[in-house]
């Protein structure tokens, strides 16, 4: 039996949800930036996971019913979701009737009995969930497509790969060894470049022929745009919301900030990446070209709510320093062995 995945919808902050998110202006999926989040990354469910694995589904369901009034603790995706709510609150102040908002959709393939505890937990943490879909063990991917999902975050690597294969931006989240305090007023999202925002074309050259050939290839093709990667669409969606703040004179205090954190070198291979982003009409607030240096220390300074990378080496390095990192299992790097990591 496939275990529970969850995805979720929320607008406001520290006030009654119904007072700020009336049903008559609930965003339609085609207008919203839809984020799907697994319960195993939104909340801490390790104890329940062990009950399921060791005692089976019936004991698991009984355990959940017996503990349904005990809220789950926040998981690695929780600060990210709260930051989405903060952005929504600002957007509603400026555009009261707009449907261009973050919509977090809760999709779980748990039994309905477990839904009671999830709803109690959502209410306890003052999260507003507009859409909650329990699939009873079947794959949630079809529902994600129906909701026009812009990003799917899960603890289930197989479901993430399935989503990517269907053209849905997706990543596997991990619990860092320590949690770094993040901003409560600004959503910060950091991206790797190759095989995340861009295709893995250049990374394939590096893996096959080495660094010198990679530099040569990038110089020869600096005016040739890179193809898009699996998370390009999510960056576009963030940019669309950023422009709503810019239009009201809030570029300098925009509550969304994006970062490119790449192992590329600026002079020898960075220009192609920047030209590609410019040609796509996408803005990155900060670009860090590390020339192979570790990403963890830079991410510790940025303190993003989430960082996306296609290589587990960088995901693990970020997590060791307290950054909530998500693995994008796409491209040539997935053929490289990596050490075992603790899944959230």
Do β-strands 256-262 and 187-191 pair in parallel, antiparallel, or remain unpaired? parallel
Residue 192 annotated among the catalytic residues of the structure = yes
Q: What is the mean pLDDT of the chain?
A: 86
Domain match, 105 and 192 both: no
Q: What do you get for the CA distance between the two ends of the chain, in Å?
A: 19
Domain match, 193 and 65 both: no
Question: Choosing from 192, 194, 309, 310, which is the catalytic residue?
Answer: 192
Asked if residues 50 and 63 have their Cβ atoms less than 8 Å apart, the reply is no
Asked if residues 299 and 261 have their Cβ atoms less than 8 Å apart, the reply is yes
Three state DSSP letters for 1-64: CCCCCCCCCCCCCCCCHHHHCCHHHCCCCCCCEEEEECHHHHEECHHHHHHHHHHCHHHHHHHH
Range of the domain at 240: 187-331
Asked if residues 325 and 174 have their Cβ atoms less than 8 Å apart, the reply is yes
Query: Environment class of residue 146 by beta-carbon count within 10 Å: exposed (0-12), middle (13-18) or buried (19+)?
Result: exposed
Question: Residue with structure tokens 């703040």?
Answer: 245
pLDDT bracket for residue 10 (50, 70, 90): very low
pLDDT of residue 25: 58
Q: Is the pLDDT of residue 16 over 90?
A: no
Asked whether residue 225 is assigned to any structural domain, the reply reads: yes
Q: Is the pLDDT of residue 314 over 60?
A: yes
pLDDT, tens only, 223-249 = 889 999 999 999 999 999 999 999 999
Average pLDDT, integer, range 240-263: 96
Average pLDDT, integer, range 4-25: 41
Asked whether residue 4 is assigned to any structural domain, the reply reads: no
pLDDT bracket for residue 12 (50, 70, 90): very low
pLDDT of residue 52: 87
CATH number of the domain encompassing residue 72: 3.40.50
Query: Environment class of residue 58 by beta-carbon count within 10 Å: exposed (0-12), middle (13-18) or buried (19+)?
Result: exposed
pTM of the model: 0.87
CA-based radius of gyration for the chain: 20
Domain match, 40 and 148 both: yes
Asked whether residue 77 is assigned to any structural domain, the reply reads: yes
pLDDT, tens only, 111-139 = 777 889 999 999 999 998 677 777 777 88
Asked whether residue 11 is assigned to any structural domain, the reply reads: no
Domain match, 118 and 232 both: no
Average pLDDT, integer, range 62-90: 94
Asked if residues 74 and 44 have their Cβ atoms less than 8 Å apart, the reply is yes
What tokens appear for 119 in the block?
Answer: 């709803």
Q: Is the pLDDT of residue 50 over 50?
A: yes
pLDDT bracket for residue 11 (50, 70, 90): very low
pLDDT of residue 9: 40
pLDDT bracket for residue 213 (50, 70, 90): confident
Tell me how crowded residue 140 is: count the other CB atoms within 10 A of its CB.
Answer: 29
pLDDT bracket for residue 336 (50, 70, 90): low
pLDDT of residue 339: 42
What tokens appear for 211 in the block?
Answer: 């660094």
pLDDT of residue 162: 95
pLDDT of residue 178: 82
Asked whether residue 221 is assigned to any structural domain, the reply reads: yes
Domain match, 192 and 167 both: no
What tokens appear for 193 in the block?
Answer: 């470049």
Domain match, 168 and 252 both: no
Q: Give percent above pLDDT 90 in the chain.
A: 59
Q: Give percent above pLDDT 70 in the chain.
A: 90
What tokens appear for 108 in the block?
Answer: 């779980």
Q: Is the pLDDT of residue 13 over 50?
A: no
What is the count of structural domains for the chain? 2
């Amino acid at each position: 039996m496939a275990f529970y995945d969850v995805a979720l919808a929320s607008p406001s902050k520290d006030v009654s949800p119904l007072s700020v998110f009336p049903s008559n202006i609930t965003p339609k999926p085609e207008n919203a930036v839809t984020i799907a989040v697994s319960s195993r990354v939104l909340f801490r469910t390790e104890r329940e996971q062990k009950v399921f694995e060791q005692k089976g589904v019936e004991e698991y369901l009984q355990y959940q019913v017996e503990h349904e009034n005990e809220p789950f603790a926040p998981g690695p995706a929780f600060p990210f979701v709260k930051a989405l709510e903060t952005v929504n609150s600002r957007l509603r102040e400026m555009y009261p009737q707009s449907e261009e908002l973050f919509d977090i959709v809760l999709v779980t393939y748990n039994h309905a009995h477990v839904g009671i505890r999830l709803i109690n937990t959502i209410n306890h943490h003052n999260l507003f969930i507009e859409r909650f879909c329990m699939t009873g063990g079947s794959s949630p991917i079809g529902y994600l497509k129906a909701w026009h999902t812009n990003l799917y975050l899960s603890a289930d690597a197989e479901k993430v790969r399935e989503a990517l294969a269907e053209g849905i931006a997706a990543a596997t989240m991990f619990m860092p060894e320590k949690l770094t305090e993040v901003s409560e007023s600004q959503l910060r999202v950091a991206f790797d470049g190759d095989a995340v925002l861009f295709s893995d074309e250049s990374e394939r050259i590096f893996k096959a022929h080495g660094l010198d050939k990679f530099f040569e290839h990038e110089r020869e093709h600096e005016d040739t745009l890179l193809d898009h990667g699996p998370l390009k669409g999510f960056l576009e969606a963030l940019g669309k919301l950023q422009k709503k703040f810019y239009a009201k004179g809030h570029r300098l205090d925009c509550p969304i900030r994006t970062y490119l954190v790449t192992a590329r070198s600026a002079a020898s291979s960075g220009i192609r990446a920047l030209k590609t982003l410019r040609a796509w009409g996408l803005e990155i607030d900060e670009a860090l070209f590390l020339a192979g240096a570790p990403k963890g220390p830079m991410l510790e300074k940025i303190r993003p709510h989430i960082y996306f990378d296609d290589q587990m080496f960088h995901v693990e390095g970020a997590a060791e320093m307290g950054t909530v990192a998500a693995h994008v299992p796409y491209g040539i790097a997935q053929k490289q062995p990596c050490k075992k990591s603790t899944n959230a």
